[in-house]
């Protein structure tokens, strides 16, 4: 396997081991074969770094793209860091948050590595609370596609078999509906019904005439492409882009970093 080139989004060396430096932040994304997804993660890392100058922000992926979080954490150890904060770039606390990310941290801290790692909550509702920053980011992306007036919304998510994770998506849909004062239904690109086109069709059959779709995705890729095609075929008036590097998402990442240990 080829060696991955490790780069941080901060040009200033910071962190424990650098006088007065901040604890480095490692963003962990799911990973995708679609190169647009990796670029979205890198763009978010740059946005987080720009929002807090001097903070060392590293991008990593669980699959398909290098480097992985274990490699990044080991690199930080070699550079003399003694602490790190890992932020899961996930919208639900399903398998990847519960299993894959802790395993990656364990792999990095075995063999006596002197590194204390704090893993934050995911970016979706971790304790049942939908953060204002998340809602503001979804509102921004919906506004960018200029749907005009709409009388119903569909929140389109990637999908999961985890019932608790689906419940957290439902809470976001409820909050988004209250935000706009319209009915908001959940749909999924995989793993669970209904598909986005089905959700749009049901709302239209129930009397909605202008249905818009909010994308509960962090990055573009095949799932968002499928959601877009399905929604448009069903008559949706607009489909929002993923959150990617929205300023509100960078704010949300930093709020997770700042949470007490």
183-209 in b/e burial notation, b at 16+ Cβ within 10 A?
bbbbbbbeebeebbbbbbbbbbeeebe
β-pair type (184-188, 152-157): parallel
CATH code, residues 132-239: 3.40.50.1400
Name the pLDDT band for 11 (thresholds 50, 70, 90). very low
- Classify domain 25-124+249-258 by CATH number: 3.40.50.1400
- Residue 110's alpha-carbon distances to 32, 60, 116, in angstroms, are 27, 19, 11
**How many of the other CB atoms lie within 10 Å of CB of 149?**
9
Residue 65 CA to residue 45 CA, distance in Å, equals 15
Round the average pLDDT of the chain to a whole number and report it. Answer: 90
Query: Residue 5: which pLDDT band, with cuts at 50, 70 and 90?
Result: very low
How remote is the C-alpha of 232 from its chain's centroid? 24
For 227-258, how does the pLDDT look when each residue is reduced to its tens digit (9 = 90+)?
999 999 999 999 999 999 999 999 999 999 99
Which range, of 24-38, 106-120, 137-151, 218-232, averages the lowest pLDDT? 106-120
The per-residue pLDDT for range 172-197, each reduced to its tens digit, is: 999 999 999 999 999 999 988 999 99
Among 9, 1, 103, smallest CA distance to 49 is for 9
Both tokens assigned to 257? 């970093």
Q: Say which range, 39-48, 59-68, 101-110, 237-246, has the weakest mean pLDDT.
A: 101-110
pLDDT digit string (tens) for 122-170? 999 988 899 999 999 999 999 999 889 999 999 999 988 888 889 999 9
Q: Which of these, 179, 136, 176, 140, lies nearest to 156 by C-alpha position? A: 176
Pick from 34, 35, 30: nearest CA to 59: 30
Q: For the segment 70-104, what is each residue's pLDDT rounded down to a tens digit?
A: 999 999 999 999 999 999 999 998 777 778 999 99
Range with lowest mean pLDDT among 12-21, 33-42, 175-184, 221-230? 12-21
d(CA 126, CA 117): 19
| Same-fold call for 25-124+249-258 versus 132-239 | yes
Domain segments of the chain as ranges: 25-124+249-258, 132-239
Average pLDDT over residues 21-38: 93
Q: Residue 136: which residues within 8 A CB-CB, separation 6 or more?
A: 248
- Interacting residues of 149 by C-beta distance below 8 A, sequence separation 6+: 210
Q: Give the residue ranges of DSSP H helices in 100-246.
A: 101-109, 132-144, 163-180, 196-205, 222-233
């Amino acid at each position: 396997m080829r060696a991955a080139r490790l780069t941080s989004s901060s040009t200033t060396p910071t962190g424990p081991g650098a006088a007065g430096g901040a604890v480095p932040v490692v963003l962990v994304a799911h990973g995708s074969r679609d190169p647009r997804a990796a670029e979205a993660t890198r763009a978010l890392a740059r946005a987080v770094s720009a929002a807090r100058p001097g903070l060392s922000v590293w991008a990593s992926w669980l699959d398909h793209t290098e480097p992985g979080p274990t490699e990044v954490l080991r690199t930080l150890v070699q550079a003399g860091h003694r602490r790190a904060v890992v932020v899961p770039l996930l919208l639900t606390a399903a398998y990847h948050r519960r299993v894959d990310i802790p395993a990656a941290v364990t792999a990095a801290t075995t063999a006596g590595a002197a590194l204390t790692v704090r893993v934050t909550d995911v970016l979706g509702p971790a304790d049942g609370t939908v953060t204002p920053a998340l809602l503001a980011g979804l509102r921004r992306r919906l506004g960018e596609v200029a749907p005009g007036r709409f009388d119903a919304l569909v929140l389109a998510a990637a999908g999961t078999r985890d019932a608790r994770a689906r419940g957290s998506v439902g809470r976001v849909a409820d909050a988004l509906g209250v935000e706009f004062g319209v009915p908001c239904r959940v749909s999924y690109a995989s793993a669970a019904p209904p598909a986005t086109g089905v959700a749009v069709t049901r709302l239209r059959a129930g009397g909605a005439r202008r249905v818009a779709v909010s994308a509960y995705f962090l990055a573009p890729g095949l799932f968002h492409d499928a959601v877009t095609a399905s929604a448009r075929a069903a008559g949706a008036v607009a489909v929002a882009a993923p959150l990617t590097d929205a300023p509100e998402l960078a704010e949300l990442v930093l709020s997770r970093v700042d949470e007490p240990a």
